[in-house]
Amino acid sequence: MLSLALAGGMVIGATLLGGSSKVSDVSAGYDKFRQVLNRIERDYVDSVSTAELVDYSISKMLEKLDPHTAYLTAEEAVAARSQLESGFDGIGVEFNIQNDTVYVVTPLFGGPSEEIGIQSGDRILSVDGSPLSGPGATNTRVFKMLRGKRGTKVKLEIARNGAKKPIMFEVTRNRIPTYSVDAAYMAGKDVGYIKVTRFSESTYDEFKKALGMLKEKGMNRLILDLRGNPGGYMEKAVNMADEFIAGDKLLVYTKGKRAGMDKESRAHIAGIFEEGPIVVLVDEGSASASEILAGALQDQDRALVIGRRTFGKGLVQMPLKLDDNSELRLTVSRYYTPSGRSIQKPYEMGHSEEYGKDLSNRYDSGEFFHADSIHLNKKLRYTTVGGREVFGGGGIMPDVFVPRDSSRNSNYLFELRGKNILRDFALKYAALNQQGLLKKPFESFFSDFQVNEPMLKEIVRESEKQGIVFHEKEYQKSKAQIQLEIKALIGRYVWGRQRKDGLSNEIYQIINPSDPVFQVALRQFGNAAALEKGKFGQMRLK
C-alpha cells in the first residue's frame, strides 16, 4: 500500500507538471524502485525494515534537490507542526535537563501544573511510575511522556528543595497556549518595542493586540525586532506588513513552474500603524517570513532596516501529507519582494552540505563585523518605490549595518550558557528571594538591583562543580555580560510569572539598554521619519 501511495503521488505530480514523457519517466523510475524493494524483501540475507528503507530512500532522493525540500516521518511532521501551532496539549511546564535530571524552569501561566502547585525548581523524577531521570532523559522522551490528549491524567513524582520525601502530583492535561510575540513594551516616551520570535498560527493576532496596546500608551515610533526569527507562515508576515502599509501596494509575490503557483499579496486593510516612523531589526538568523516582512517594508520605503544581512531563505515549500501521515515539504515557488528581488541566496542542486556552511563562511569572511566584507552583486540592482537602491542576491541587506558585538564574549561565558549555569542560578535565586523581591515593583528592581560579588562567586563555584575550568581573563571580559544575563533571568522568573499575556518584557527591558543594535535603532528615528515622508535627501545613513 505504501508503494502504491508513493507511485500515485509521483504520477499525479507528473501529470500536474504536464507531458506524457514526464509521466513515462516517473513510471519507469517507480518500476525500478519497486523491483529493488521487492528483491530486498524476498531475497536479502537478513531481515530488514522495508518502511525504514523507503524513508531512507526518499530522504536521499531529496538531497539531489534544493536545500529546503524535505521529507518528514509521521513523528517528525507532528513535532514540526506543533512548533507553529497556537498551543499544545500537555501539563504546561517549561523544563530544562541538567545532569540527566529534568528541572521545572517555570510552570506556564494558567496551565494545569501551575494550578495544582508545581513550582520552579522542582525535579521530575518519574512519570506514571516510569523513571524520567537518568541517561535516557532527552527532550524527545520528556515531550513524549508529558504531552498527551487533553483530559488525560498523568502522575508525577516530584523532588522539591526543602521536602524530605518526593511529592506525588496527579495532573490533568489541558490545552497550553504558546506565544510568538515575546515582548511588547514602551522603550521611551513615545517609542514602542515589539519582539516577534516566529510566525505561527497566533502571531498576527498577538501582534495586533500588542500594537494596539502600545498605541493606546502613546506610541508614535516603533522598533520591530525580527532578529533570530526563523520564519513560519507567510500569510502572517503579509498580514503584519498590511498593518503598516496603506493602499493596495504590493507586499510580496511568488513564481513557480506552474501558473497556479504564481501569486501576489497586496495591502488591502486600514492598518493600525500606517503612519509613524518604523525601525526593523534583522540579523543572519532572520529568515523566510521575517525576510518577507522586512523586504516589503524596505521596498515600500515604509521602514528603516537595521542590523545585518538576513539568512536568505526564499523558497516556498508546500506540505504534502502522505497516507501514512508522513509529510513531503516540496519546494514549489520562490518569494520576491515588491522591487523584484529574490530573497533566496544562491545554491547548487544536490549540495546542501555546502549550503549549510553559508553562515559560518559569512562569519569567517568578516561579514558579521564589517560592512565592506559584504560583496554585493551589482547586476542584481533594484529600486524601492521611492527610487532608493537595493540589491538582490540573497537575503535582505539592511539600510544601516551594525556589526555583531563580541566584546564581552569568551569561551568561559559560552560554557556557562552551555551547561545552563546562569539559568539555574537565576532560577534558584528567584525561588528563594521571590517574596522579598515582589515587595517592590519591577521598576525598582530594574534601576536598583545589582548582581553582586557573592552571587558571582557562587556561580563560579557551581561552574567548577560542573567541570568548567575558571579562567580569570575570560571571566573579567564577560563579567558584565554575566551580571546582565543573571539580572534579566531573575526579572523574568520573578515578575514574568505574574504576567497573564505570555510576554517576557522583563528580559528585554534589562538586556536592550546594553544592546548595540537597539541603541543604534533609537538614534536612527530621524532617518526613519525622513524615509516615511519620502525625504530621502535628509537621510544620513553613513
Task: Give tens-digit pLDDT for 101-113.
Answer: 888 876 776 678 8
Least confident of 118-122, 258-262, 407-411, 535-539: 118-122
Does residue 154 sit in the same domain as residue 97? Answer: yes
Q: How far apart are CA 252 and CA 337, in angstroms?
A: 5
Kind of pairing between the strands at 101-107 and 123-127? antiparallel
Question: Quick one: pLDDT at residue 1?
Answer: 25
Number of domains in the chain: 4
Does residue 166 sit in the same domain as residue 207? Answer: no
Contacting residues for 171 by C-beta, under 8 A, at least 6 apart: 91, 112, 113, 116, 118, 153, 154, 155, 156
Q: Which of 126, 151, 177 is the last residue before a domain boundary?
A: 177
Cβ atoms < 10 Å from Cβ of 12: 12
Kind of pairing between the strands at 70-72 and 167-172? unpaired
Output 85 or 289, whichever has higher pLDDT. Answer: 289
Does any domain span residue 140?
Answer: yes
Does any domain span residue 70?
Answer: no
Per annotation, catalytic residue among 288, 342, 410, 504: 288
Question: Quick one: pLDDT at residue 18?
Answer: 45
Question: Quick one: pLDDT at residue 27?
Answer: 86
pLDDT at 115 over 50: yes
Mean pLDDT of 232-248: 95
Cα–Cα distances in angstroms (integers) from residue 320 to residues 50, 70, 180, 237, 374, in the given order: 22, 11, 25, 22, 37
Does residue 401 sit in the same domain as residue 294? Answer: yes
Least confident of 17-21, 186-190, 222-226, 428-432: 17-21
CA dihedral 343, 275, 208, 179 (to 10 degrees): 50
Does residue 147 sit in the same domain as residue 195? Answer: no
Cα–Cα distances in angstroms (integers) from residue 527 to residues 130, 278, 401, 532, 540, in the given order: 60, 10, 14, 9, 7
Contacting residues for 158 by C-beta, under 8 A, at least 6 apart: 118, 122, 123, 124, 125, 166, 167, 168, 169
State pLDDT tens for residues 468-492. 999 999 999 999 999 999 999 999 9
Question: Quick one: pLDDT at residue 110?
Answer: 62
Does any domain span residue 69?
Answer: no
Does any domain span residue 78?
Answer: no
Does residue 429 sit in the same domain as residue 462? Answer: yes
Least confident of 14-23, 159-168, 200-209, 389-398: 14-23
Does residue 343 sit in the same domain as residue 465? Answer: no
Burial of 409 (0-12, 13-18, 19+ CB in 10 A): middle
Query: Does 299 qualify as catalytic in the annotation?
Result: yes
Question: Quick one: pLDDT at residue 164?
Answer: 81
Does residue 140 sit in the same domain as residue 209? Answer: no
Q: Which of 177, 207, 240 is the last residue before a domain boundary?
A: 177
| Angle in degrees, 0-180, between the axes of helices 516-523 and 525-532, rounded to the nearest 10 | 50
Confidence of residue 22 (pLDDT cuts 50, 70, 90): low
Query: Does 31 qualify as catalytic in the annotation?
Result: no
Does any domain span residue 534?
Answer: no
Query: Does 313 qualify as catalytic in the annotation?
Result: yes
Confidence of residue 386 (pLDDT cuts 50, 70, 90): very high
Question: Quick one: pLDDT at residue 540?
Answer: 81
Cα–Cα distances in angstroms (integers) from residue 533 to residues 50, 396, 536, in the given order: 63, 22, 8
pTM over 0.75: yes
∠ at Cα 433 (421, 161), nearest 5°? 65
Mean pLDDT of 174-195: 91
Mean pLDDT of 294-305: 97
State pLDDT tens for residues 221-234. 999 999 999 898 99
Does residue 305 sit in the same domain as residue 370? Answer: yes
Q: Which of 177, 198, 221 is the last residue before a domain boundary?
A: 177
Question: Quick one: pLDDT at residue 360?
Answer: 83
Q: Please report, for the domain that includes residue 158, its CATH number.
A: 2.30.42.10
Does any domain span residue 364?
Answer: yes
Q: Please report, for the domain that includes residue 342, its CATH number.
A: 3.90.226.10
Mean pLDDT of 112-138: 82
Q: How far apart are CA 365 and CA 81, in angstroms?
A: 35
∠ at Cα 279 (273, 282), nearest 5°? 120
pLDDT at 7 over 70: no
Does any domain span residue 533?
Answer: no
- Could you give the strand order of the β-sheet that contains 191-196, starting from the edge strand earlier in sequence? 181-186, 191-196, 221-225, 278-282, 304-307, 400-401
What whole-number percentage of the chain has pLDDT above 70?
Answer: 93
Per annotation, catalytic residue among 242, 299, 358, 424: 299
Does residue 216 sit in the same domain as residue 252? Answer: yes
Average pLDDT, the chain: 87
Does any domain span residue 525?
Answer: no
pLDDT at 450 over 60: yes
Contacting residues for 461 by C-beta, under 8 A, at least 6 apart: none
Does residue 16 sit in the same domain as residue 100? Answer: no
Confidence of residue 252 (pLDDT cuts 50, 70, 90): very high
pLDDT at 15 over 50: no
Least confident of 81-85, 151-155, 201-205, 425-429: 81-85
Q: How far apart are CA 494 and CA 267, in angstroms?
A: 41
Per annotation, catalytic residue among 122, 202, 225, 313: 313
Q: How far apart are CA 69 and CA 320, in angstroms?
A: 11
pLDDT at 12 over 70: no
Among 475, 473, 464, 504, which Cα is nearest to 488's?
A: 504
Does residue 273 sit in the same domain as residue 150? Answer: no
Does residue 94 sit in the same domain as residue 164? Answer: yes
246, 296 contact by CB (below 8 A): no
Domain with 373, as residue range(s), is 181-317+332-348+357-405
